């Protein structure tokens, strides 16, 4: 017996008066997917903009940008959902619902990719309009990433050395070795 048959049998045995619980479960799942989309969206948009540059961080208010990104994410979540629903409805009208089922996740990811790209472009354009040289800031980013990477590696080495010394000292104390 496969999983599909198992799930179908469970669905058929479910009592009829439990429809409200099903809607709550679907709504909870849909909200979870929306929150996951928004978190992923913000990470991807920030990575494609100059918002992570130290010059920008020092001069701008991060809380305002977080609010703006949240609004953009909510707007683009709705846009992506509408695009996918329209794609599926159009496929049903054209009597191609089976391929539509197979390609719906691809359409969803493509729409999300386009929304992220357009939002990052809008944010970078806003900084250009404010007088920042975006190309110069983007050229400086790899050097900044390398500096942070080196600092992180040095910190990790220092922590490892500190832990080794503390373990050796504990070993010496344990056995009375001086």
Q: Is the pLDDT of residue 5 over 90?
A: no
Tell me what pLDDT residue 1 has: 45
CA distance 41 to 62: 17
Hey, where are the domains in the chain? 21-132, 134-178
Q: Is the pLDDT of residue 60 over 90?
A: no
Q: Is the pLDDT of residue 11 over 60?
A: no
Low-confidence winner among 7-11, 27-31, 82-86, 155-159 (lowest mean pLDDT): 7-11
Q: Is the pLDDT of residue 68 over 60?
A: yes
Q: Is the pLDDT of residue 119 over 90?
A: yes
Tell me what pLDDT residue 121 has: 94
Contact 41, 120 (CB under 8 A): no
Which pTM does this prediction carry?
A: 0.68
CA distance 44 to 38: 10
How sure is the predictor about 10, in pLDDT bands with cuts at 50, 70 and 90?
low
CA distance 167 to 178: 14
Instruction: Return the closest-CA partner of residue 135 out of 125, 148, 149.
Output: 125
Q: What is the pLDDT averaged over residues 114-134? A: 92
């Amino acid at each position: 017996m496969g999983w599909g048959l198992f799930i179908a049998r469970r669905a058929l045995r479910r009592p009829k008066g439990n429809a409200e619980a099903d809607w709550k479960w679907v709504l909870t799942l849909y909200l979870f997917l929306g929150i996951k989309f928004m978190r992923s969206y913000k990470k991807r948009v920030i990575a494609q903009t100059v918002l992570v540059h130290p010059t920008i961080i020092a001069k701008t208010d991060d809380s305002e940008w977080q609010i703006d990104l949240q609004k953009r994410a909510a707007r683009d979540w709705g846009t992506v959902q509408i695009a996918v629903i329209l794609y599926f409805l159009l496929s049903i009208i054209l009597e191609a619902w089976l391929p539509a089922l197979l390609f719906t996740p691809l359409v969803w990811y493509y729409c999300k990719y386009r929304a992220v790209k357009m939002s990052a472009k809008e944010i970078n354009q806003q900084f250009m309009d404010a007088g920042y040289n975006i190309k110069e800031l983007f050229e400086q980013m790899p050097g900044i990433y390398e500096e942070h990477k080196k600092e992180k590696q040095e910190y990790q080495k220092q922590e490892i050395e500190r832990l080794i010394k503390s373990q050796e000292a504990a070993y010496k104390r344990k056995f009375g070795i001086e």
